[in-house]
Amino acid sequence: MITLWELKGKDGRRYSMFSWRTKMALKHKGLDYESVPVLMSDKATIAFSGGKTVPIIRDGDKVVRDSWAIAEYLEDRYPERPTLFGGAIGRGMAQAFNTWVDRTLLALLMPVIVADLYERVDPGDDAYFRRQFEGFLKSTLEEARARRDELAKRLDRQLDAWQAVLKRQNFVSGAAPAYGDYILFSLFQWARIASPHEIIAGGSPLALWRERMLDLYDGFARDVPTA
């Protein structure tokens, strides 16, 4: 059985965005795992990994950290199970997409939901979280909340391209879901768990795709504590 370290939020919420990529990848490969929730500020518990972030997995005596490295590890270690990338070109495209999402889309989404997320982190992480995210934001959480409408509109303009993609095909990866879908989905799952505000227009191609993603693996990602 694989062990996964991920973040622990208030009332059973598992809000680590990058860990959702790993959890969906594990489901895709049909691999069981046991979750170990940790506080964001608790670096001692995850020091064995050599890093300061989750997700981390342990599979036998192999420890892997970083969601992208984990996806590559799972693909290479379990090649006989459903593929995450669909070959070398797909792996290259997924890596390109991963980098773009993390540097562009994530930076637009984070300020929209971060003040709501702050209310749902474990109280033991309050001070750490505020310091960390106010550093990313270069403003206070309260200032980000006050600008929410304007920031949400800016995000929506960037999501337009994804509305067009998902009008033409059912999944980011084409006819069936694969790792590219889990990359994009992790952002919307993060938003669902963090914030009571809807960020996708109801009935839109993106909203319908998210429903398809939430239905996967017997509603694995749907049936979790959300905002």
Ligand X SMILES: N[C@@H](CCC(=O)N[C@@H](CS)C(=O)NCC(=O)O)C(=O)O
Binding test (CB under 6 A) with ligand X, winner from 8, 9, 14, 16: 16
Q: Which of residues 121-180 bind ligand X (CB under 6 A)?
A: 132
Per DSSP, the three-state class of 217 is: helix
Binding test (CB under 6 A) with ligand X, winner from 66, 108, 137, 145: 66
97 touches ligand X by CB under 6 A: no
Structure tokens at 136: 């990313």
Q: Which of residues 18-47 bind ligand X (CB under 6 A)?
A: 18, 40
Q: Which is nearer to ligand X, 103 or 157 (CB)?
A: 103
Q: Which is nearer to ligand X, 166 or 187 (CB)?
A: 187
195 touches ligand X by CB under 6 A: no
> By CB neighbour count within 10 A (0-12 exposed, 13-18 middle, 19+ buried), where does 114 fall?
buried
Beta bridge partners of 62: 59
Count of positions on this chain that bind ligand X (CB under 6 A): 13
Q: How far is CA 210 from CA 28, 157, 178, in A?
A: 16, 18, 14
Binding test (CB under 6 A) with ligand X, winner from 2, 54, 172, 199: 54
Listed ranges 13-21, 115-123, 146-154, 215-223: which one lies at the site for ligand X (CB under 6 A): 13-21
55 touches ligand X by CB under 6 A: yes
First CA to last CA distance, the chain = 30
Distance CA 21, CA 12 (A): 18
Distance CA 94, CA 184 (A): 11
